[in-house]
Amino acid sequence: MQKRKLGQSDLFVSKLGLGCMSLGTEDEKAKNIIKTAWEEGINYFDTADLYHFGVNESIVGKTLKSVRDQVIIATKVGNRWEEGKDGWYWDPSKQYIKEAVKKSLQRLQTDYIDLYQLHGGTIDDPIDDVIEAFEDLKSEGLIKEYGISSIRPNVIQEYAAKSSIVSVMMQYSLLDRRPETILPLLTEHHISVVARGSVAKGLLTDRMLANISQHTSKINIDAYLDYSPQQVIEVLESILHKLLINRQRTMTEIALQFNLANEGIAAVVAGASTIAQVKENVRAVEAPSLTREEYKVLSDITKKNIYTQHC
């Protein structure tokens, strides 16, 4: 599988990453999904200390231990579980980041984290302290690179200007094209985007498309951002009739390839709760890239949304 450079770093990530949040806690099942991803050419695995109270990191770490030097492990920090683990709160303090990384390293059974990401962030955070924490961890060899996971333009702009982040993880899909407004800035700063949410909570999938094509009487579709349920249906119908009428592509292909068509995107991170889903996602990213005509059709029938908050 093709690997793309993450920002100005020495990290090369497969264009499809495995989002590990949906692996669950059933040890053997999760391990088999991770192993399948690796066997299919995926070298980029994204987790977080928040997922299942750290169990997710533990599963990822022990499964990949034997190939540690051949994979890119990304995890996140900032969301802190309350004492009783009934909820969590935001803690971007320098002290907490430097404490949390040690626990992540233990769970991941590794001496270093390839990509350490701030798991959110607001403009009111002590951003200079956050950057200092990450730079300290980098100089200590505990992390190779760092980035942020955020959809807030004002926060992204601050980190782009002040830090040496190599990536920003952002929600991006045909139904959420808001990142396109900030991609030029990130490109200018040589910062890569890692896309998540490419199938828009399952709306951009073959299962949903099948319901549309079969004119299922009761199609249960939720509104999505500034799309009403009816507008989501209209987009899917347009894709079906203009691009998929001959069934030469799948909806998953369309969704993932739309993201990968943008040069600023280093990888799409897709979750999987079954081996079949992993293989379907791999087939989708290994399919031929969108043609200019296909990309134009998709651009014309979807909204170029813009951020209305945190600008």
Judge contact between 55 and 25, C-beta under 8 A.
yes
Strand partners, 170: 195
The two tokens of residue 25 are 């806690």
Strand partners, 18: 45, 270
Strand partners, 288: none
Exposure b/e, 254-264, CB count within 10 A at least 16 = b = bbbbbbbbbeb
CA-nearest of 135, 213, 204 to 171 is: 204
Judge contact between 281 and 252, C-beta under 8 A.
yes
User: Would you call 145 helix, strand, or coil by DSSP?
Assistant: strand
Question: Distance between CA 25 and CA 21 in Å, rounded?
Answer: 10
CA-nearest of 41, 103, 106 to 77 is: 103
Which residues have C-beta within 8 Å of that of residue 61, sequence separation ≥ 6?
A: 73, 107, 108, 109, 110
The two tokens of residue 35 are 């192993």
Q: Is 230 exposed, middle or buried (0-12, 13-18, 19+ CB in 10 A)?
A: exposed
Does the annotation count 51 as an active-site position? yes
CA atoms lying within 13 Å on the CB side of residue 213: 15
From the list 44, 51, 146, 227, the catalytic residue is 51
**What residues are annotated to the active site?**
51
